[in-house]
Amino acid sequence: MRSSHFIFALLIIFFSSCARIKPNGNNSDSSAVDIVSKSDTVSDWRRLTEGWTMALNLRNSSIMKSFYSDSVLYYGDKIAGDDVVKRQQSYFTSNPDYHQKIVEYIGEEQQPDGNWRVRIMKQVIAGGKTANYPASLTYGKQIGIWKIIAESDDITDLKKGQPMIVHYAPETITITGWLEENTGFGTSKEGDPKSDAKEFYYAVWPSQPLDVLVNDNKENGVLVSEFGVDRLQIVGDAKLISPLLNKKVRITGTLSHASTPLHFTKVLLNVNTIEEIK
């Protein structure tokens, strides 16, 4: 019991230091990717990642959630931080011997958007077996505090990176993904950006990227093929769509290309049916 209290105290120290992390003096607006090798001295990112590992081994839901952003790209699925913890707790229940440790820090990379990606080799004990996995965590700021915004491993990244090949209407497609509401700005009649109207629209993040092809390769300058599409504005009955916001859904419909200032993604999905995946 005393050791659990000690670990809990250490995690509080880890978490309270998140907001004070400074990305080694680099400009977060830089377009370059800054790489810190594993030979460097122990970094704040390494300390934060160790704290995350301790939280998983302690299996305390509240502490685990404190490391994650409200929305996380979790092994290819964009889900809520609370749902990340639910998945982890379910895995712990199925594997009561679960234990994780980091056996190697491979590198730290500052992304063009200012976020930081930490690449590690983790050793996991589960179901009586021990295995090493190359994995990564991406940290981004949420209300001034660094949180995990993405978690994945090399195998998942490879699988999720393989595009699904689809075509524009009249072909009907079915995809799964995370549904959310986004904000865009429609062009005003006067053409003054300051008077642009704020527009809300529904968007889905597909579980895998899409290569959207023109039927019979008949591109005409308006309808063109788009590759690696990872977000779709969706068009349909708001009464059916809005109750499913911030949930994983299955959508059947047809694709069209953006054609007006109120189309905020290159490809749109016109909804025929939509349902929650539980």
User: Rounded to 5 degrees, what are φ and ψ at 52?
Assistant: -60, -45
Fold of 161-276: OB fold (Dihydrolipoamide Acetyltransferase, E2P) (2.40.50)
- Which CATH architecture best describes the domain 2-159? Roll (3.10)
* Whether residue 47 has pLDDT greater than 60: yes
DSSP, collapsed to helix, strand or coil, labels residue 172 as strand
| CA gap 23, 179 in Å, rounded | 32
| CA gap 141, 152 in Å, rounded | 18
**243-278 pLDDT, tens per residue?**
998 788 999 999 999 988 888 899 999 999 999 987
Amino acid symbol at 83:
D
| CA gap 141, 116 in Å, rounded | 10
Are 257 and 264 contacting, i.e. CB atoms less than 8 angstroms apart? no
Q: Is the dihedral of CA 33, 18, 80, 256 positive or negative?
A: negative
| CA gap 130, 137 in Å, rounded | 21
Q: In what order do the strands lie in the sheet with 226-229?
A: 164-167, 210-213, 226-229
**98-129 pLDDT, tens per residue?**
999 999 999 999 888 889 999 999 999 988 88
pLDDT band of 165, cuts 50, 70, 90? very high
Residue with more model confidence, 214 or 182 = 214
Q: What is the rounded average pLDDT for all residues in the chain?
A: 80
Cα atoms in the 13 Å half-sphere on the side-chain side of 168: 19
* pLDDT of res. 36: 39
* pLDDT of res. 51: 94
* pLDDT of res. 100: 94
| CA gap 28, 112 in Å, rounded | 7
Would you mind telling me the total number of residues written for the chain in this entry?
278
**22-41 pLDDT, tens per residue?**
554 444 343 333 333 444 44
* pLDDT of res. 57: 95
Burial letters for 89-105: b for 16+ Cβ neighbours within 10 Å, e otherwise?
Answer: eeeeeeeeebebebeeb
User: What DSSP state is assigned to residue 219?
Assistant: -
pLDDT band of 230, cuts 50, 70, 90? confident
pLDDT band of 228, cuts 50, 70, 90? confident
| CA gap 12, 60 in Å, rounded | 12
- Residue spans of the domains in the chain: they are 2-159, 161-276
User: Rounded to 5 degrees, what are φ and ψ at 110?
Assistant: -85, 125
Tokens 């120290």 identify what position?
A: 13
* Whether residue 242 has pLDDT greater than 60: yes
Residue by residue, DSSP assigns 7-42 as HHHHHHHHHHTGGG---TT--TT-SSPEEEETTSPP
